[in-house]
């Protein structure tokens, strides 16, 4: 099976712009989670989607949003970019069901740089 793919791999934006990142999960995985990773904060949970519904959300401002499509592919959007949004954004898919979480399989990440 193909692994989790993320596009684009690298992105450079300026403050105030918005950005959309894409994630294709492993075939058959219905749960997709997004994380932000920075050297100072480590891996921070953004949100998790299952069957097009957001089931949990981390402590991030409303500028961070996401969605999941019927084919389980997911996108996350960051509006009004700030310098502090520069990070590696990781997507992970899993076989998590309605009631039980499971192992996460991560994509290679999108490296976002905000200038």
Partner 1 sequence: SQKIEQNSEALNIQEGKTATLTCNYTNYSPAYLQWYRQDPGRGPVFLLLIRENEKEKRKERLKVTFDTTLKQSLFHITASQPADSATYLCALGGTGGFKTIFGAGTRLFVKA
Does 108 help bind partner 1 (rule: CB under 8 A)? yes
User: In this complex, which beta carbon is closest to partner 1, that of residue 7 or of residue 17?
Assistant: 7
Stretch 60-89 residues interacting with partner 1 (CB under 8 A): 88
Q: At a CB cut-off of 8 Å and minimum separation 6, what does 92 contact?
A: 4, 32, 33, 34, 35, 104, 105, 106, 107
Q: Report whether 105 contacts 16 (CB < 8 A).
A: no
Using CB under 8 A, list all residues that contact partner 1: 4, 31, 33, 35, 41-43, 45, 48, 50, 55-56, 58, 88, 90, 92, 96, 99-109, 111
């Amino acid at each position: 099976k193909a692994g989790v793919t993320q596009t684009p791999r690298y992105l450079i934006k300026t403050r105030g712009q918005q950005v959309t990142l894409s994630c294709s999960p492993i075939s058959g995985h219905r749960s997709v989670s997004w994380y932000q990773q920075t050297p100072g904060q480590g891996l921070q949970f953004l949100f998790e989607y299952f069957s097009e519904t957001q089931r949990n959300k981390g402590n991030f401002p409303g500028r961070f949003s996401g969605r999941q499509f019927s084919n389980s592919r997911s996108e996350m959007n960051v509006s009004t970019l700030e310098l502090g949004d520069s990070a590696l954004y990781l997507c992970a898919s899993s076989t998590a069901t309605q009631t039980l979480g499971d192992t996460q399989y991560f994509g290679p990440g999108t490296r976002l740089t905000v200038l």
